[in-house]
Structures are given as structure tokens and as C-alpha cells.
Amino acid sequence: GVSGVVSREVSLPQLRKMARKYMLVVAVELLDVGDSGLRVQEPFNLLNGTFDCSAQVPGTCAYGAIEIEDEGWVSATANVKDMVMILTAVSSNPAPKVLGTAYGWGSVPMLTIYDKETDLPVLPWKQRIHVAIAARE
């Protein structure tokens, strides 16, 4: 157990350095997207607001995620730019190594990206990759 607590004053510049976060963006190129592209919409299984993910066991609702070396899986926001799906997360590392991406991979897949042409959701995945990507502050 804890044998004691030592408190010390931390200056504002030190605090900022300790709390520094970096935006991490991963572009995901999907196969078989219709010519009309992709769109973002509320997940169907939110049931028009009647299903509350925050009331579930943590990790039940699966949105996007990025696996980062030395940080593990972190939640990511899914968006689209033209024909590409964009996953955005926050990292404490200025030059994180991305180990994998996931989207909707869990007990309740919260699918927010849809093919405009077919009106079908992008299907869930969990994929390991080995790419070094620079983050920006």
C-alpha cells in the first residue's frame, strides 16, 4: 500500500509540459466505397437517444479507436474527408507509433460512417498496423 504522500508545488510551465497532449490523425482508406463517398450519421443503435452508452459498462459501446505504442487503445473520433475515413485521437507522445486501428469493434458497435450510395454502414474492424506517424500539438 501507500506508505506516505509527498506534496510539492508545480509551476504552471511544468504543469503544461506534464499535461501536453498531441492530436493524432490516421487516414483509413476503405475498399468498395460507392462513387458518392461516405457520410457521418448518428449510430442507429442509439435508438434516437433512448440508449445511453454512458450508463453501460465501460467499453460496451465501441466507436473508433487507435492503438498507440506505450499507451494502448485510445478512443478516436471517426469522420470523413472525401472517400477517406479519418480517425482522430489524443496522445501524450509527440511522435506516437500507431500499432492498430479499430472501428465499432465491441459488444455494441456504434457505427457512424455510412456509404452514401448504398446507405449501409462501414462494417466493424480491428486491424494491426506498423506505421510511425507524427502528431501535431
Does the residue 12 lie in any domain?
A: no
Which of 123-127's residues contact partners 24+ apart within 8 Å by CB, and which partners?
Answer: 124/62, 125/101, 126/100, 126/101, 126/102, 127/100, 127/101, 127/102
pLDDT band at 19 (very low <50, low <70, confident <90, very high): low
Instruction: Judge contact between 78 and 113, C-beta under 8 A.
Output: yes
In a domain, 107, yes or no: yes
Q: What is the reported pTM?
A: 0.76
Specify the pLDDT at position 135.
60
Q: Please tell me the distance from the alpha carbon of residue 112 to that of residue 13, in angstroms, as a whole number.
A: 39
User: Is 125 part of a structural domain of the chain?
Assistant: yes
The residue among 19 and 41 whose pLDDT is bigger is: 41
Residue 34: inside a domain: yes
Structural domain total, the chain: 1
Average pLDDT, rounded, for the chain: 83
Q: How far apart are CA 83 and CA 54, in angstroms?
A: 31
Weakest mean pLDDT among 22-26, 66-70, 100-104, 130-134: 130-134
All cell numbers assigned to 63: 466507436
Residue 8 lies in a domain: no
Range(s) of the domain holding residue 70: 21-132
Higher-scoring residue by pLDDT: 78, 137:
78
Q: Quick one: three-class SS letters along 5-68? A: CCCCCCCHHHHHHHCCCEEEEEEEECCCCCCCCEEECCCHHHCCCCCCHHHCCCCCEECEEEEE
Question: How does pLDDT run across 89-136, given as a tens digit for each residue?
Answer: 999 888 888 999 999 999 999 999 999 999 999 999 999 985 555 566
Taking only Cα atoms into account, the Rg of the chain, rounded to an integer number of angstroms, comes to: 18
- 73 in Cβ contact with 135 (< 8 Å): no
Q: Is residue 7 part of a domain?
A: no
**Which amino acid appears at position 42 of this protein?**
E
The reported pLDDT for the residue numbered 2 is 47
Report percent pLDDT > 90 for the chain.
50
